[in-house]
Amino acid sequence: MSRSLIIRPARPGDESQIRQLIEELAEYEKLRHEAIATDEHLRQALFSSKPDAEVILAEWEGACCGFALFFHNFSTFLGRQGLYLEDLFVKPNFRGQGIGKALLQRLAAIARDRGCGRMDWQVLNWNTPAIGFYHTLGANPLEDWTTFRLTGDALEKLASKADSQ
């Protein structure tokens, strides 16, 4: 890897750069309307006394060019924690330099060093460049699993049933 690339943990003061990268990722994924995180949301989530997630940043010749946001989950089958990659993004004009691969290599090292049994993430079905890239790393899709999500009114409705019990 080139010496002009630095992968480093995010630190307080990076919130604005992280938010901008999240917004660019959301734009790429055609989900910009869903990206409502503020710098304060990120400050609380990433740098509080008990962080919800972590970020590593990629800098190419001093310019912030990509990030990976991750957190720990737990595998009951393995009896060990895992590392869940929520988002990985490299700005378009920096792609093809090995930055995405370097971010994933660093995440794999973090997972290994923390004793994680696995590393998981999702990719949009239409994102064939990313899918092809993940295959080159030895990652395999879990085709027998379907992701479900509760948000907004559906989440509130289900939660309110617990309140009435």
Write the pLDDT tens digit of every residue in 79-132: 999 999 999 999 999 999 999 999 999 999 999 999 999 999 999 999 999 999
pLDDT at 120: 96
Return the active site residues.
134
| Mean pLDDT, the chain, integer | 95
List, in order of start, the domains of the chain with CATH numbers: 5-163 (3.40.630.30)
Look up residue 96 and give its two tokens. 């093809």
Strand intervals (E) in the chain? 5-9, 54-60, 63-75, 80-90, 119-121
Looking at the chain, the whole-number percentage of residues with pLDDT higher than 90 is 93
Q: In what order do the strands lie in the sheet with 80-90?
A: 5-9, 54-60, 63-75, 80-90, 119-121
> Do 14 and 57 meet the contact criterion of CB atoms below 8 Å apart?
yes
Q: pTM of the full predicted structure?
A: 0.92
- Model confidence at 164, pLDDT cuts 50, 70, 90, reads confident
Kindly tell me the sign of the dihedral angle through the C-alpha atoms of 150, 103, 5, 44. Answer: positive
